[in-house]
Amino acid sequence: GQNIDQPTEMTATEGAIVQINCTYQTSGFNGLFWYQQHAGEAPTFLSYNVLDGLEEKGRFSSFLSRSKGYSYLLLKELQMKDSASYLCARRDSGGYNKLIFGAGTRLAVHP
């Protein structure tokens, strides 16, 4: 939604690495978030980028290029429990810093 694009579905093998890309509208940009959401549950925070570069946090890393309006979430050493939807969200620089979410990428990890 709202000019945030990410793939609808991805599949990967346990133990492998997967990269989920996200492109977004750059005007009024004030930060890029990644959330994980299991079916029927609320999203949980994974990462936040506001400056260009890579942020690493354990098995998960997130990259941002502000000029290109591009981010990716990198998941290493995939586990079965990583099967979930991954939501890319852009924060507006307007008054309330609201988060606008992409449609989400459903990742299926198989043995």
Partner 1 sequence: GAVVSQHPSRVICKSGTSVKIECRSLDFQATTMFWYRQFPKQSLMLMATSNEGSKATYEQGVEKDKFLINHASLTLSTLTVTSAHPEDSSFYICSASDGRTEAFFGQGTRLTVV
- By CB under 8 A, name the binding residues for partner 1: 1, 31, 33, 40-45, 48, 87, 96-104, 106
Nearer to partner 1, 3 or 13 (CB): 3
Rounded least distance, CB 16 to partner 1, Å:
24
Nearer to partner 1, 35 or 72 (CB): 35
Count CB-CB contacts under 10 A for residue 41: 10
Rounded least distance, CB 85 to partner 1, Å:
8
Nearer to partner 1, 24 or 33 (CB): 33
Contacts by residues 21-25 (CB-CB < 8 Å, ≥ 24 positions apart): 21/70, 21/71, 21/72, 22/70, 22/71, 22/72, 22/73, 22/88, 22/102, 23/68, 23/69, 23/70, 23/71, 24/69, 24/70, 24/71, 24/88, 24/90, 24/102, 25/69, 25/90
Nearer to partner 1, 69 or 102 (CB): 102
Rounded least distance, CB 11 to partner 1, Å:
16
Per the listing, tokens 């690493």 go with 56
Rounded least distance, CB 61 to partner 1, Å:
17
